Structure 1
Amino acid sequence: MDEKLAIVLSYIQSGSVFMPFMFIAFHVLRQLLFIPVIVVCISGGILFGPVLGTIYSIIGLTLSNLCFYFIIGKFPKTRDKLFLLKDKLFGNHKPNSSQIAILRLLPFIHYYLLSFCLMESNKGIKHYLYVSFLTNIPLAFVYTVFGHSIANFSPTSLIIILVAIMFLLYLVRDRRNVVPWREFFRYRDKG
């Protein structure tokens, strides 16, 4: 086993021209292997450095979202499960793209649930891919650049970061209140 790992590491360190393509393909295949997005982004930072690792991760995540867009239509039961999970987590509220970009930073929120929310709010593949690209940038940047540092944070600092992210989610929320027609006139008749 150690020999195989040594061979893989020496191949990676040799700087093969195909390594970026293999890494991007690994991002796409990651969903089939049930490997978390964060692990792949951190490994991109280790293999390619913070700048190239971030760029390759953004490309890989966007291609992964493109595959998800086509695959989810072929599996209606999975789509229905994601819809139920979305309703359970968000209720009637549809998160906007800024909120999804921030929620993607939280490791315990399902990545493809957020992609499903993007699909529902963006009609058409072109706009979906554009918004997916934009919402993948913070995720790829944070976990590629700061991946090693996050592992060394104390529990207190992690809680502070999570509270700050939740506050940021509150700040970027949609600030509109929808009152159903009947409810509006019911309150108006009373007053």
Structure 2
Amino acid sequence: MSGRWLRIGLAAILVAGIAVVVTYRDHLDPAALEAWVAAAGWAGPVVFVALYAVGAVFFLPGSVMTLAGGALFGPVWGTLLNLAGATLGAALAFLVARYLASEWVANRTGGRLARIIRGVEAEGWRFVAFTRLVPLFPFNLLNYALGLTRIPLVSYAVTTFICMAPGALAYTYVGYAGRQAIAGGETAIQTALIALGLLAAVAFLPRLVQRLRGPTEWLDAAELARRLDADQSPLVVDVRGADEFEGELGHIEGAVNIPLDELEDRLEEIPAERPLALVCKTDRRSLAAARQLRSRGYPDVAVVRGGMTAWRAGEGAPSEG
């Protein structure tokens, strides 16, 4: 019973704190924050990291703290302190979510959500790395969402620290450039240009990560045929239209036909715990489907090279038309 009331009390504090931050977030004064931290003297870096961590738990915009870190401590120490504060805050939010709700979620989720969670857990640190390198996922919300999975805390924290570094460096440098611009001097313009270059690099990072990540695996048609004869055979997902599925090229026996434009609405038909082999006429739609499935937490996705064209050319087994 005491554990239950502790959870209720912690949840109440969390909700109240988030409500206060969301209500007054437009009144946050970065200059006042900088003055407060600077007034702490030698303890300023410790105070800053603690404030950053608490702010992350209560949904304080991380950009405010990161820019302030750059202005206060410069590009090098500012980046390190920003990373320390953000990682500590991410770990705290992760633990709060795990303590408050992970057991409840595990016992009550099913269907698509359960499959997504299992897929995220199977990816583990790789999923954390992807979401941290691509700064399109809400930082504060993601911390709590990942706490509902069984990803190990150490892997989560280490990956968060390493993979947030590019974005932290860029935004810290922006804060540093702002302070230099206010102070004036010959280096202000050069500093601003470097900050813009770093921001441009971070903006390009999502596309680069997608390219480097690529499909989980390429499968030749002959290799797919061999795997289909094995005990742990992949599920073949044919992403062509229904007319193509029954058309001239036919389809692979046992394949599930889910056209690419229907994939998002039919994820419940695809088990996240089973290996997937994606096939279309050639490769284009299969690659798009692979990216979509990986973004939804499916860990084991392969693309059949050459698709049904290669399969029908005799590189795989006979198809059914």
TM-score range normalised by the length of the shorter chain: 0.5 to 0.7
Task: Map 1:33-72 onto structure 2 (within 5 A).
Answer: 33-72=58-97
Match of 2:159 among 126, 131, 138: 131
Contact 1:96 1:173 in 2 (8 A): no
**Over residues 114-172 of structure 1, what are the superposed CA-to-partner deviations in whole Å (9 max), with x where a residue is unaligned?**
444598584x222222212212212221110134559x97xxx97x974x233213213
The residue type paired with residue 169 of structure 1 is V
Contact 1:118 1:132 in 2 (8 A): no
Contact 2:98 2:148 in 1 (8 A): no
Q: Say whether 1:75 aligns with 2:115.
A: no
1:130 and 1:13, CA in 2 relative to 1: closer, same or farther beyond 3 A?
closer
Q: Which runs of 5+ in 1 are unaligned?
A: none
Q: Say whether 1:176 aligns with 2:226.
A: no
Residue 186 of structure 1 is matched in structure 2 by 254
Task: Map 1:16-165 onto structure 2 (within 5 A).
Answer: 16-76=41-101, 96-103=127-134, 105-106=135-136, 109-115=137-143, 116-117=145-146, 120=149, 122=151, 124-147=152-175, 148=177, 149=192, 162=203, 164-165=204-205
Shift of 1:64: 1.2
CA distance in 2: counterparts of 1:137 and 1:119, whole angstroms:
24
1:101 and 1:161, CA in 2 relative to 1: closer, same or farther beyond 3 A?
closer
CA distance in 2: counterparts of 1:9 and 1:127, whole angstroms:
32
1:7 and 1:121, CA in 2 relative to 1: closer, same or farther beyond 3 A?
closer
CA distance in 1: counterparts of 2:132 and 2:235, whole angstroms:
35
The residue type paired with residue 127 of structure 1 is S
- Structure number with higher relative contact order (C-alpha < 8 Å, ≥ 6 residues apart): 1
Runs (4 or more) in structure 1 with deviation over 6 Å come to 5-8
Contact 2:53 2:85 in 1 (8 A): yes
Contact 1:99 1:172 in 2 (8 A): no
Residue 21 of structure 2 is matched in structure 1 by none
Shift of 1:111: 0.8
CA distance in 1: counterparts of 2:96 and 2:61, whole angstroms:
19
Number of equivalences: 175
Q: Say whether 1:166 aligns with 2:206.
A: yes
1:49 and 1:28, CA in 2 relative to 1: closer, same or farther beyond 3 A?
same
Shift of 1:16: 0.3
CA distance in 2: counterparts of 1:117 and 1:6, whole angstroms:
33
Structure that is richer in helix per residue: 1
Contact 1:118 1:131 in 2 (8 A): no
Q: Percent identity between the aligned chains?
A: 19
The residue type paired with residue 51 of structure 1 is V
TM-score (norm 1): 0.66
Contact 1:42 1:144 in 2 (8 A): yes
Q: Which runs of 5+ in 2 are unaligned?
A: 1-29, 178-191, 225-232, 237-251, 256-316
The residue type paired with residue 53 of structure 1 is G
CA distance in 2: counterparts of 1:19 and 1:96, whole angstroms:
34
Shift of 1:44: 0.3
Residue 262 of structure 2 is matched in structure 1 by none
CA distance in 2: counterparts of 1:17 and 1:171, whole angstroms:
44
Tell me how large the CA RMSD over aligned residues is.
Answer: 4.4
TM-score (norm 2): 0.43
Shift of 1:11: 5.2
Structure that is richer in strand per residue: 2
1:60 and 1:161, CA in 2 relative to 1: closer, same or farther beyond 3 A?
closer
The residue type paired with residue 181 of structure 1 is P
1:27 and 1:53, CA in 2 relative to 1: closer, same or farther beyond 3 A?
same
